[in-house]
Protein backbone atom coordinates (compact mmCIF):
# COMPACT_ATOMS: atom_id res chain seq x y z
CA UNK A 1 0.00 0.00 0.00
CA UNK A 2 3.04 2.19 -0.46
CA UNK A 3 4.16 5.60 0.56
CA UNK A 4 1.96 8.68 0.40
CA UNK A 5 2.53 10.71 -2.77
CA UNK A 6 3.12 14.44 -2.62
CA UNK A 7 -0.20 16.29 -2.82
CA UNK A 8 -0.52 19.07 -5.39
CA UNK A 9 -1.88 22.10 -3.51
CA UNK A 10 -2.44 25.49 -5.14
CA UNK A 11 0.53 27.77 -4.36
CA UNK A 12 -1.70 30.36 -2.65
CA UNK A 13 -2.90 27.69 -0.20
CA UNK A 14 0.67 26.58 0.54
CA UNK A 15 1.66 30.23 1.08
CA UNK A 16 -1.31 30.87 3.39
CA UNK A 17 -0.38 27.96 5.65
CA UNK A 18 3.35 28.75 5.41
CA UNK A 19 2.67 32.26 6.75
CA UNK A 20 1.43 30.52 9.92
CA UNK A 21 4.53 28.33 10.10
CA UNK A 22 2.80 25.22 8.74
CA UNK A 23 4.40 23.14 5.97
CA UNK A 24 1.12 21.88 4.48
CA UNK A 25 2.55 19.40 1.94
CA UNK A 26 4.79 17.83 4.59
CA UNK A 27 1.95 17.42 7.08
CA UNK A 28 -0.81 16.36 4.72
CA UNK A 29 -1.84 12.75 4.30
CA UNK A 30 -4.99 10.67 3.91
CA UNK A 31 -4.82 9.94 7.66
CA UNK A 32 -3.94 6.65 9.30
CA UNK A 33 -6.99 4.79 7.98
CA UNK A 34 -6.64 6.18 4.48
CA UNK A 35 -2.94 5.31 4.45
CA UNK A 36 -3.65 1.73 5.57
CA UNK A 37 -6.20 1.44 2.78
CA UNK A 38 -3.79 2.79 0.16
CA UNK A 39 -5.59 6.09 -0.48
CA UNK A 40 -3.45 8.44 -2.58
CA UNK A 41 -4.43 12.11 -2.94
CA UNK A 42 -3.36 13.24 -6.41
CA UNK A 43 -4.83 16.74 -6.62
CA UNK A 44 -6.27 19.00 -3.95
CA UNK A 45 -8.02 22.36 -4.03
CA UNK A 46 -11.30 23.70 -2.66
CA UNK A 47 -12.74 23.27 -6.18
CA UNK A 48 -11.62 19.69 -6.86
CA UNK A 49 -9.99 16.86 -4.96
CA UNK A 50 -8.86 13.70 -6.76
CA UNK A 51 -7.65 10.50 -5.13
CA UNK A 52 -7.24 6.80 -5.81
CA UNK A 53 -7.53 3.61 -3.78
CA UNK A 54 -6.66 0.02 -4.69
CA UNK A 55 -9.43 -2.55 -4.67
CA UNK A 56 -7.04 -5.24 -3.45
CA UNK A 57 -6.98 -5.30 0.33
CA UNK A 58 -10.26 -3.37 0.54
CA UNK A 59 -12.76 -6.07 -0.38
CA UNK A 60 -15.67 -7.76 1.38
CA UNK A 61 -16.04 -11.57 1.61
CA UNK A 62 -17.40 -11.88 -1.97
CA UNK A 63 -14.22 -10.31 -3.35
CA UNK A 64 -15.88 -7.01 -4.28
CA UNK A 65 -14.75 -3.55 -3.20
CA UNK A 66 -16.21 -3.04 0.28
CA UNK A 67 -18.84 -0.29 0.45
CA UNK A 68 -17.16 0.98 3.61
CA UNK A 69 -13.90 1.38 1.69
CA UNK A 70 -15.71 3.55 -0.85
CA UNK A 71 -17.08 5.57 2.08
CA UNK A 72 -13.55 6.06 3.46
CA UNK A 73 -12.33 7.32 0.08
CA UNK A 74 -15.35 9.61 -0.29
CA UNK A 75 -15.07 11.08 3.20
CA UNK A 76 -11.33 11.60 2.82
CA UNK A 77 -11.71 13.51 -0.45
CA UNK A 78 -14.70 15.57 0.69
CA UNK A 79 -13.01 16.42 3.97
CA UNK A 80 -9.89 17.65 2.18
CA UNK A 81 -12.00 19.92 -0.03
CA UNK A 82 -13.91 21.21 2.99
CA UNK A 83 -10.67 21.86 4.88
CA UNK A 84 -9.23 23.82 1.97
CA UNK A 85 -12.47 25.80 1.60
CA UNK A 86 -12.52 26.63 5.32
CA UNK A 87 -8.91 27.80 5.28
CA UNK A 88 -6.52 28.06 8.18
CA UNK A 89 -9.10 29.47 10.61
CA UNK A 90 -11.49 26.48 10.35
CA UNK A 91 -11.51 22.77 11.07
CA UNK A 92 -13.69 20.55 8.85
CA UNK A 93 -15.66 17.88 10.71
CA UNK A 94 -17.84 15.42 8.78
CA UNK A 95 -21.47 15.43 9.95
CA UNK A 96 -23.28 13.55 7.15
CA UNK A 97 -22.13 11.01 4.60
CA UNK A 98 -24.27 9.00 2.21
CA UNK A 99 -23.14 6.59 -0.45
CA UNK A 100 -24.98 4.86 -3.26
CA UNK A 101 -23.11 1.85 -4.66
CA UNK A 102 -23.80 1.28 -8.35
CA UNK A 103 -21.57 -1.62 -9.38
CA UNK A 104 -19.08 -4.08 -7.96
CA UNK A 105 -15.35 -3.91 -8.62
CA UNK A 106 -12.99 -6.86 -8.10
CA UNK A 107 -9.57 -5.47 -9.03
CA UNK A 108 -7.53 -2.45 -10.02
CA UNK A 109 -7.79 1.10 -8.74
CA UNK A 110 -10.83 3.23 -8.14
CA UNK A 111 -10.62 7.00 -8.55
CA UNK A 112 -12.68 9.50 -6.61
CA UNK A 113 -13.34 13.09 -7.63
CA UNK A 114 -14.86 15.48 -5.07
CA UNK A 115 -16.48 18.71 -6.24
CA UNK A 116 -18.37 21.27 -4.16
CA UNK A 117 -22.13 21.38 -4.05
CA UNK A 118 -22.27 24.08 -1.34
CA UNK A 119 -19.50 26.11 0.29
CA UNK A 120 -20.76 28.30 3.09
CA UNK A 121 -19.38 29.90 6.24
CA UNK A 122 -20.36 27.08 8.58
CA UNK A 123 -20.83 24.04 6.30
CA UNK A 124 -19.42 22.63 3.10
CA UNK A 125 -20.99 19.86 1.01
CA UNK A 126 -19.12 17.88 -1.63
CA UNK A 127 -20.29 15.35 -4.20
CA UNK A 128 -17.81 12.52 -4.66
CA UNK A 129 -17.95 10.31 -7.75
CA UNK A 130 -15.93 7.09 -7.54
CA UNK A 131 -15.16 5.32 -10.83
CA UNK A 132 -13.36 2.16 -11.91
CA UNK A 133 -10.45 2.03 -14.34
CA UNK A 134 -12.88 1.92 -17.29
CA UNK A 135 -14.48 5.18 -16.12
CA UNK A 136 -17.69 3.48 -14.97
CA UNK A 137 -19.34 4.96 -11.89
CA UNK A 138 -18.94 2.66 -8.90
CA UNK A 139 -20.30 4.92 -6.17
CA UNK A 140 -21.96 8.32 -5.78
CA UNK A 141 -21.45 9.95 -2.41
CA UNK A 142 -22.23 13.24 -0.69
CA UNK A 143 -20.41 14.57 2.37
CA UNK A 144 -21.33 17.56 4.49
CA UNK A 145 -18.75 18.96 6.88
CA UNK A 146 -19.26 21.42 9.70
CA UNK A 147 -16.65 24.18 9.59
CA UNK A 148 -15.66 24.90 13.19
CA UNK A 149 -13.32 27.62 14.38
CA UNK A 150 -9.77 26.28 14.78
Enumerate the active-site residues: 75
DSSP for 14-27? HHHHHTTT--HHHH
Burial label, 121 (beta-carbon count in 10 A; 0-12, 13-18, 19+) = exposed
Whether the CA torsion 70, 87, 10, 5 is positive or negative: it is negative
Greatest Cα pair distance in the chain: 49
C-alpha Rg value of the chain to the nearest Å:
15
Contact 53, 109 (CB under 8 A): yes
Amino acid sequence: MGEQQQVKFPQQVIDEYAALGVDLPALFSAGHLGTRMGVQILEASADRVVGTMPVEGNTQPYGLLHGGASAVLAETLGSVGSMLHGGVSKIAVGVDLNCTHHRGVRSGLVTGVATPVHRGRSTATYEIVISDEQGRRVCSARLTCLLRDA
